[in-house]
A and B are shown apart, each in its own frame.
Chain A
Amino acid sequence: MTTETVTENVISQSAAAMTPPAPATSKRLVYRHSLPIRLMHWINVISLSLMFFSGLQIFNAHPSLSWGNYNNPDKPLLALDAREDANGNLTGITRIGKHEFNTTGVFGVSKGPDGTPTARGFPSWLTVPGPGWLSMGRQWHFFFAWIFVLNGICYIGYSLAKKHVQRDLWPTKADWRGIGRSIADHVRFRHPHGEEALRYNILQRLAYLIVIFVFGIGIVLMGLAMSPRMDAVLSPIVEFVGGRQAARTIHFIIAWAFVAFVLIHVFEVLISGVFNQLRGMITGYYKVDVEPVSVVKPEPVAVIKETSHD
């Protein structure tokens, strides 16, 4: 979207003190994220987090994943089991395919509310509610599922109407050509601080498009595919992905893919100027360096037409 941006010429103190004749580095505040986008972003943070934690609570009722329409207890893709020895000691076993790992304390067996080892898939500090309580986990999950879906519909509608998707997220030919350089920049943790920072780079564009249109829509569809009532109309999708247990497995995988995205996203925010980024998503204003101009100083422009990236 095109917004009016207010310029604020900040003289960089250090640069001015060191070399007085050198051109001053100025910074400009850009109104980058509109209010609806900021609101929807933080609503999404809350609903995704609570759906993740309550989802792990639901998973704990049957801490095993299978492919197909029914589950095969002997051949799970993943299982967080508990084994009891003759003395009554519990061992947490994580099974991935044919491989077994002792994960006592975290997966399979972890401390219950009273501090004693308890058989449970994910530990209580990762589930909502903390103790095993499937019916309440479902209440949390479905409540925030509605918020997530309604928020997501608003976001996609708003972003299409305001051409945010078309303009800021859809990669241009130039973006594709720069993919090699963008990857190199990312692995060296190099981030632009000037005007270029206002444009999403190709990796950001691809990440956001995939997260919104593949993960977001995919996880909702796979959630609905687990609903027996919805399956009366969705069974072609259920059978296409490989059955109801396959849909459950994909739902679980996408949930963790969201976690991976959030970790990378937060990491990038931390290394690219955490206060500036946070201010951008809270107040809307984002600060960029203005390239020093050496010879002719242009007239300060009060209002600049700028494509903001919200």
Chain B
Amino acid sequence: MTDRRTFLRMAIMGTAGLLVAGCDKISQSSWGPKVLGKAQGLNRRVQALLSPSSAMAKEYTEADISPTFHPNGTTMPDTDEYQALMANNFRDYKLKVTGLVSKPGEFSIDDLKKLDNRTQITRHDCVEGWSAIGKWQGTQLSALLDHVGVDPKARFVVFHCLDNMDVDTPYYESVDIEEARHPQTLLAFNLNDKPLPVSNGAPLRLRVGRQLGYKQAKYIGSIELVDTFAKIGSGNGGYWEDQGYEWYAGI
């Protein structure tokens, strides 16, 4: 019996193992990921048809807020610049807005609070699979864009962050203008009625209501409007995108 069981187990593991090994070869080939990646473009286009750009992410009630909001990725940026800002409780912090805008500028958190604000209780879905619900208060990105005046050539908003993921590799992310102008796209400074904790991205992080967690850039230092992100990082539009994740994080 043991022999038969061992044989059966070896047979199952062997078959599955062969299949997995074959797939690993394809994953590491130059053509495999390109073919598989075709599906991701389809995801973006079909999802935009099924769920229009104006559709709103569900907003929850205070009772739905999760007891903890799990901080992921960087939880304590170790750059001198960030440490100095943190030591002074971010009073010297200024968000820089650069690139294809008519009025580049610098904005303190108080300056941002004077622009159109929004409070929303939305769900955060990590690419790993977990979710958390938090109450976000922040400046609508569309209000800031209107304030600085966006050049018609601009296609993407890039968020440069103050945390390093690797030596001289700061986190960054990008969204297109349509997503940037969505009413639920915020530069959030409060989480659950308190100033954003350091672990969750103080003093300012991005909230995009309908995309996965890696899009929600923390520790934003500056915003750049560009017509292409090909020359930023490895050219894929974000830190995780440069590691093989999809730029479109709606699924």
B37 close to chain A: CB less than 8 A: yes
B13 close to chain A: CB less than 8 A: yes
Query: Main SS of chain A's interface residues?
Result: helix
CB of A129 to closest CB in B, whole Å: 5
Whether B251 pairs with A229 at a CB distance below 8 angstroms is: yes
Q: In the assembly, what is the distance between CA of A105 and CA of B2, in Å?
A: 18
A230 close to chain B: CB less than 8 A: yes
Which residues 108-167 of B sit at the A interface, judged by CB distance below 8 A?
Answer: 123, 125-133
Whether B27 pairs with A129 at a CB distance below 8 angstroms is: yes
Number of interface residues of B (CB under 8 A): 51
Count A/B pairs, Cβ under 8 Å.
Answer: 140
Whether B16 pairs with A140 at a CB distance below 8 angstroms is: no
Task: Give me the 10 closest cross-chain CB pairs, A-B, nearest first.
Answer: A229-B250, A62-B129, A232-B55, A70-B66, A135-B244, A235-B58, A61-B128, A227-B251, A139-B36, A143-B39
Whether B39 pairs with A130 at a CB distance below 8 angstroms is: no
Whether A69 pairs with B20 at a CB distance below 8 angstroms is: no
Whether A228 pairs with B211 at a CB distance below 8 angstroms is: yes
Q: In the assembly, what is the distance between CA of A239 and CA of B211, in Å?
A: 18
Whether A229 pairs with B210 at a CB distance below 8 angstroms is: yes
Given contacts A49-B19, A229-B51, A229-B251, contact A69 B243 (CB under 8 A): no
Whether B35 pairs with A129 at a CB distance below 8 angstroms is: no
User: Which residues in A have their C-beta under 8 angstroms from that of B132?
Assistant: 70-71
Which residue on B lies nearest to A71, using beta carbons? B130
A275 close to chain B: CB less than 8 A: no
Whether A142 pairs with B251 at a CB distance below 8 angstroms is: yes
A264 close to chain B: CB less than 8 A: no
Please tell me which one of the listed residues A124, A226, A228 contacts residue B210 in the complex, with CB atoms under 8 A apart.
A228
Given A70-B123, A227-B251, A233-B55, 10 further pairs, Cβ under 8 A? A53-B20, A58-B129, A69-B133, A70-B131, A130-B20, A135-B243, A226-B251, A230-B47, A230-B251, A232-B210
Which residue on A lies nearest to B56, using beta carbons? A232
A-B contact pairs, 26 of them (CB 8 A): A50-B23, A53-B20, A61-B127, A61-B129, A69-B60, A70-B123, A70-B133, A71-B132, A125-B16, A128-B23, A128-B24, A128-B27, A130-B21, A134-B127, A135-B240, A136-B244, A138-B246, A143-B35, A146-B39, A226-B251, A228-B123, A228-B125, A228-B250, A228-B251, A230-B251, A245-B130
B57 close to chain A: CB less than 8 A: yes
CB of B41 to closest CB in A, whole Å: 10
Given contacts A230-B51, A233-B51, contact A129 B24 (CB under 8 A): yes
Which residue on B lies nearest to A227, using beta carbons? B251
A287 close to chain B: CB less than 8 A: no
Whether B130 pairs with A127 at a CB distance below 8 angstroms is: no
Whether A230 pairs with B38 at a CB distance below 8 angstroms is: no
